[in-house]
């Protein structure tokens, strides 16, 4: 009976989530791990959290299928390894036909990111492919009648800034100016956002003696004042965003929105990674979530609510690099929160497809039986079925 009640609660909650307002914050759903739950279970988790925006680093068909007929909007990604190919119109169109068209009528794919942090790498050849690839993908979307539904952009690190303080004096690096100017022209022409991956954690880790921890964690602090505009900043993320807006304006554009495509804080790190603690991660993400829910704008853009994708949904155990890289998740792969930031979600111990209410029940004989039915009918099925183990 307890199991039946838990299933009933899950099903009722999932149906009620359709009409509930989203949190406003997006989430990065990375999959560099060997222990993550199935996409259908993740779909349930994110709907229970009321998260309506998800960013992928690829266009995983299993994920896009699992979220069919949900209210979740997806950003799908073309990795840096695709850039040269995407300068070919035929290959760009083929990729969209294979990775976007089969899913877009059931799953809300709203954006394609072409490359990630290309301009702060060392591959100048790759940099030269970036804008042509973006333009070609955009053109292919138009040829397929999807230009009004899906926008094209790319994500940058804050390393593209040559100066970030004070925020009003923000400028892009001079050696990247020719690339960025053309990319900004593209964004202006296509009405697409400029994506930035912003991590105050790195600034604190590199200079813990000079950077205030409270300032980077959105905690009460004296803040800093921009001597040019006299605007006061009480956190580093907002200062970074406004520095990007200033850099964009310095290149002649005032109509391009800045979106934070990644931000987060690791809950664990190597001994040299100062500040990578569970409590700091909890404070950063809970305070950030509170700001987003208040529809706050930055000091220089008060009327424009910040748009943020938190990094990341899960800890990813196969990510290379320092320990922090494997510990940005809000959740462990088993669905347990890494820390409490006030989100109430659940990861069901069964596979569930949002598109057609497919429920896979594991029987004690070791076999899976798939049933497609509405929640109340499914509950009746449960009451008549012996030997069913719904939560594993």
Question: Which active-site residues does the annotation give?
Answer: 117, 262
Structure tokens at 51: 């998260």
Q: Which residue has tokens 């990341």?
A: 312
- The answer to whether the CB of 306 falls within 8 A of the CB of 292 is yes
74 pairs with which residues across the strands? 54, 109
Distances (CA, A) of 21 to 26, 50, 254, 305: 13, 7, 30, 16
Q: Which of 298, 279, 193 is nearest to 241 (CA)?
A: 298
User: How many other CB atoms are found less than 10 A from the CB of residue 369?
Assistant: 13
Angle between helices 39-49 and 2-16 (to 10 degrees): 70
At residue 299, φ and ψ (nearest 5 deg) are -55, -35
Going by the DSSP 8-state scheme, the letter that residue 331 receives in this structure is B
Compute how many other C-beta atoms are within 10 angstroms of the C-beta atom of residue 376. 11
Under 8 Å between Cβ of 86 and 136: yes
Three-state SS sequence of 143-184: HCCCCCCCEEEEEEEHHHEEECCCHHHCEECHHHHHHHHHHH
Q: Within the chain, what is the greatest distance between any pair of CA atoms? A: 72
Ranges of H-type helices in 56-123: 61-66, 89-99
Helix residue spans in 230-374 (DSSP H) = 236-250, 278-293
Q: How far apart are CA 29 and CA 56, in angstroms?
A: 5
Nearest to 205 by CA among 339, 324, 28: 324
Q: Token pair of 31, please?
A: 């999959």
């Amino acid at each position: 009976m307890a199991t039946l009640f838990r299933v009933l609660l899950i099903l009722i909650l999932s149906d009620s989530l359709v009409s509930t307002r989203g949190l406003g914050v997006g989430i990065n759903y990375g999959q560099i791990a060997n222990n993550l739950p199935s996409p259908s279970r993740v779909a349930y988790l994110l709907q229970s959290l009321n998260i309506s925006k998800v960013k992928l680093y690829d266009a995983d068909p299993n994920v896009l299928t699992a979220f069919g007929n949900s209210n979740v909007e997806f950003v799908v990604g073309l990795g840096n390894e695709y850039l040269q190919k995407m300068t070919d119109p035929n290959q760009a169109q083929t990729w969209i036909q294979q990775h976007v068209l089969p899913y877009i009528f059931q799953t809300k794919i709203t954006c394609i990111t072409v490359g990630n942090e290309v301009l702060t790498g060392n591959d100048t050849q790759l940099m030269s492919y970036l804008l042509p690839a973006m333009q070609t993908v955009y053109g292919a979307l138009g040829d397929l009648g999807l230009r009004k539904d899906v926008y094209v952009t790319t994500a940058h690190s804050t390393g593209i800034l040559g100066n970030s303080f004070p925020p009003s004096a923000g400028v892009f690096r001079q050696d990247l100016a020719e690339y960025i100017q053309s990319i900004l022209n593209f964004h202006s022409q296509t009405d697409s956002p400029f994506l930035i991956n912003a991590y105050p954690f790195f600034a604190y880790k590199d200079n813990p003696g000079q950077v205030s921890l409270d300032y980077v964690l959105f905690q009460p602090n004296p803040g800093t004042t921009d001597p040019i505009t006299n605007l006061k900043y009480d956190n580093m993320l907002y200062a970074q965003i406004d520095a990007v807006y200033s850099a964009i304006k310095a290149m002649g554009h005032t109509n391009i929105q800045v979106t934070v495509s990644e931000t987060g804080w690791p809950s664990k790190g190597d001994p040299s990674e100062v500040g990578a603690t569970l409590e700091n991660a909890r404070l950063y993400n809970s305070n950030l979530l509170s700001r987003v829910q208040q529809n706050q704008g930055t000091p220089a853009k008060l009327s424009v609510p910040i748009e943020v994708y938190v990094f990341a949904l899960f800890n990813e155990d196969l990510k290379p690099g320092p320990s922090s890289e494997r510990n940005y998740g809000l959740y462990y792969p088993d669905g347990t929160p890494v820390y409490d930031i006030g989100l109430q979600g659940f990861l069901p111990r069964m596979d569930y497809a949002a598109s057609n209410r497919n429920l896979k029940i594991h029987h004690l004989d070791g076999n899976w039986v798939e049933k497609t039915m509405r929640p109340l009918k499914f509950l009746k099925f449960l009451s008549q079925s012996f030997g069913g183990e719904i939560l594993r």
